[in-house]
Structure 1
Amino acid sequence: MISYYQMLVEEKRQQVRRLNSCRGELQGKQGEFQQSEPKCMEPELTPKTWHGNLAKAFDEIRQIGIKTPYRDVSGPQFDAAYAAISVKITKLEAEIASLEAIIAQLRAAEAAARAAKS
């Protein structure tokens, strides 16, 4: 019975390790994502390359339709992912603590049973 709970503890610890690894990878991807943001507004429009009403409309589309949603992904959506990972890690750590308490109780019960037999 104790070995079953120990196996569960190890499973939960492995899940925490994977989530921590995922969080690290996600941070790297967020950095890459943020560094690429200026590409949303490329190529730069100048009076020599393209100007007028169509150029202004095109620039507005890039700003509102591309850059703003891009910032939403690089900020709030990444933050939501970090929060979800943190919540799951906290939950798993609570489960680990609970399982370890059960293991301690079972060991104490076994020790008491051995002492009673002696």
Structure 2
Amino acid sequence: MKKALSQLLDCSDEFHYHKRVCLEPSLSQNTWSGNMANDFDGFKQRALQGSYQSIETQDLQTVISRVETEIEQIKQEILSLEHNRSSQQVRLSDLHDQRRKELLNNE
């Protein structure tokens, strides 16, 4: 889970780093002009930018938050299991002591 979280954080950083390349590609006037360029600019502003920002700010953050929550839940479960194990060891030791005393009293 920690490795997955680390990879998600790396993806988030990389996604943010490459935002400009996706939303503002370097297209020269010779490459891109006229109506198609205007249509593309409109598409960038309406659809592409919204989708990109949604992925960056909502989707990735939601997944990262869920993984962090899951990691914390697992940590708490581990602590609880360790506490239970410790309690059981104390109980077992007490039972051994009790049995030893019973055997000594029967002699």
- 1:36 equivalent in alignment to 2:36: no
Question: Residues 95, 48 of structure 1: CA spacing in aligned structure 2 closer, same or farther, 3 A cutoff?
Answer: closer
Q: Which runs of 5+ in 1 are unaligned?
A: 1-18
Counterpart among 94, 100, 109 of residue 91 in structure 2: 109
Separation of aligned partners in 2, 1:48 and 1:96: 59
Cα shift readout 1:33-90 (whole Å, capped 9, x = no counterpart): 1122122232446599514x54323201122221221121122211101110111112
Structure 1 consecutive aligned stretches of length 4 or more whose deviation exceeds 4 Å: 45-49
Superposition TM-score, scaled by structure 1 size: 0.71
**Residue 85 (structure 1) aligned to one of 67, 71, 79:** 67
Mapping 1:6-45, distance limit 5 Å = 19-40=1-22, 41-44=24-27
What is the percentage of aligned positions where both structures have the same residue?
A: 16
* 2:33 aligned partner: 50
The 10-residue stretch of structure 1 (54-63 or 97-106) with the greater mean CA deviation from structure 2: 54-63
Q: CA RMSD in A?
A: 2.2
Q: What is the count of residue pairs matched by the alignment?
A: 99
Q: Which has the higher contact order (CA 8 A, sep 6+)?
A: 1
State the TM-score, normalizing by the size of structure 2: 0.77
Q: Kindly name which structure, 1 or 2, has the bigger radius of gyration based on alpha carbons.
A: 2
- Partner residue, 1:14: none
2:105 is aligned to: none
**Whole-angstrom distance in 1 between the partners of 2:84 and 2:96:** 18
Deviates more, 1:35-44 or 1:59-68: 35-44
CA 94–21 in structure 1, closer or farther in 2 if over 3 Å, else same: same
